[in-house]
Structure formats: C-alpha cells, structure tokens
Structure 1
Amino acid sequence: MSVQFLEDLAAGQKYRSGKRRVDAEAITAFASEFDPQPFHLDDTAARGSIFRGLAASGWHTAATTMRLIVEGEFRPAGGVVGAGCEELRWPLPVRPGDELHVETEVLELRASKSRPDQGIVKVRNTTFNQKDEPVQVFVVNLIVQRRPGS
C-alpha cells in the first residue's frame, strides 16, 4: 500500500484498519504492567466496580488503536507522527472477547508555514467493537510530509 502525502489527502476521506481481538489475558497483562487497578486485573473485583466486569484500560485501548492504525489503510508519508491530541474519549469499555477496528477520517489539513516540506492533518480515529459501537474517539493533529517538489 502506498503512502499518502499531504497533497493526496482531503477532508472527508476515510480509511479503515483490520481487526484485532482483545482477550482477558491481554487485558490483565497490560494492566499488570501499566494500569494496575482492580477492575483491569480481576473479574470478581471488576464486577463490584463502575464497569460491572473486567474492562481493558483506556491506555490499552489507545495502544491497540495505534497498532491498528499503523497496520491499516491510512499511511501518511513520514509515518503516524503526532503533533498534539485535541480529544480522547472512551464512550464504552473494551471487554474480553471484543474485536476492535478503527476508522480514520481526515477532518482538516494545512501546509506548514515554517516547514514547507510538511503539513498538519487533523484526523478523527474512532475505534469500534464488533457491534460497531465506538469504544474510543481520538482526534489528533499529525505531521505529514508534502510530496517532494510540491
């Protein structure tokens, strides 16, 4: 799959990722290392929490989203390089057995005034579960290279 330079992108374009299943072992392994709270580590403890059952850390969802984006159709020239996050929400928890996929929508783009070889692209990455319910919404500005000679 070829990369998309700034000139190849336009507001409204959408790109999709493949799918990735999240199991209980991955949820507890991630949480053990990075977010060791009871509702991410133990189903019994999680049942008594706001989640009412084992739930992946939001940071686990974010990391999985990043993996799906990098392996998906959206291939900005220069890589997926963030310049700042404008929004990050987790409308629903990710549960064991959920199969996630991401839709990336180009919202805005502009050429850089100080660096003529690159621009900024604002995208909304929405991570969905297997029921097509959004589990994460992430709006970010990315640095994207311009086509050489543009």
Structure 2
Amino acid sequence: MGLSYEDLEVGKTYEIGSHTFTRDEIVQFAEQFDPQPFHVDEAAGEASMFRGLVASGWHTCSVMMGMLVRNFLRDSTSMGSPGVDEIRWLKPTRVGDTLTMRNTVVSKRVSESKPDRGIVETRWDGINQHGETIVTIRSKALFGLRHPGGKP
C-alpha cells in the first residue's frame, strides 16, 4: 500500500511535477472544451486583454489534476474528492510556460461517519518558470486509513 491518510502531514508541501504548455495542446484543448477566441487563435489572443494566445484555465487545472494522479496519488489510498472549494486563475498560462505544481496539506481529520477514511484539505499552487503563482485551488480529498481506529 502506498501513501495513506496517516502519511499526510498538515503544513507539508509536496512538489508534484512540472509541465510545459505547447501552442498545439493549448489550441487542441480549447477547440474541444473552451473555444473562446483567445484560446484558439493567435490574432484574437493578440487583440485581447491577454496580448497573446493563452491556455484555458480549465486546461491548466486538467494538467494539474493529471500530474497529481500520475505523480502523487498513484498507488495511494485516495478515494476521490467531495469537491473543489475554490479556483483562482491569477495570471494566464501562455505558450511555452512551464507550470510547476505544489500541493500543501491545510488540514485533515478522520471522518466521523466513516472512520475508515480521512478528509484532507489541500491547496494546490501552479507556479510558472518566473516564480509567479498563476493558479491556486483549494479542495478536499478522501484517503483511506492504513489502520482504521488506530489498530496496528
């Protein structure tokens, strides 16, 4: 068994991984899921408040979710999430940006109704190659306990 509820420490920050956004993937994602002009066309992006082609915020979040699953949750006791509490897109993700994801444990508690699992609140930070935080996400996740009820 990999990572479980007991392994997650409040206040600890985990570096999850990095991803570089290409023009083609930005346009491909946007054409399918968020076809606003500044996500699919360079000229429209240049004419927009962004002054260039930018990734959909949903694309940025999807990339972060993929990194989280592949690099952190794989082989863990993760049971999914009851939801995202907040997403803040602080700066646009641009062609060529490399996003590094960090995940900080904000709080955790064992579920009262289902004591075999815990609820872990985390803050995700997406930081570009310039050290700028471009997106933050607050969410909760469910993790199985290695030893429910404190049993060895």
TM-score (norm 1): 0.92
May I ask how many residue pairs the two structures share in their alignment? 149
Structure 1, unpaired ranges of 5+: none
Q: Hey, which bits of structure 1, 4+ residues long, moved more than 4 A?
A: 73-76
The reply on whether 1:71 has 2:73 as its aligned counterpart is: no
Query: Identity, % of aligned pairs?
Result: 37
TM-score (norm 2): 0.91
Q: Displacement, 1:123?
A: 0.3
Contact 1:76 1:145 in 2 (8 A): no
Structure 2, unpaired ranges of 5+: none
1:9-28 aligned within 5 A: 9-28=8-27
Secondary structure of 1:62 counterpart: helix
Q: Displacement, 1:76?
A: 7.9
Which segment is superposed worse, 99-108 or 8-17? 8-17
Secondary structure of 2:82 counterpart: strand
Contact 1:68 1:101 in 2 (8 A): no
The reply on whether 1:134 has 2:133 as its aligned counterpart is: yes
More helix by share: 2
Cα RMSD, aligned residues only: 1.7
Contact 2:3 2:77 in 1 (8 A): no
1:1-150 aligned within 5 A: 3-73=2-72, 77-79=76-78, 81-149=80-148, 150=150
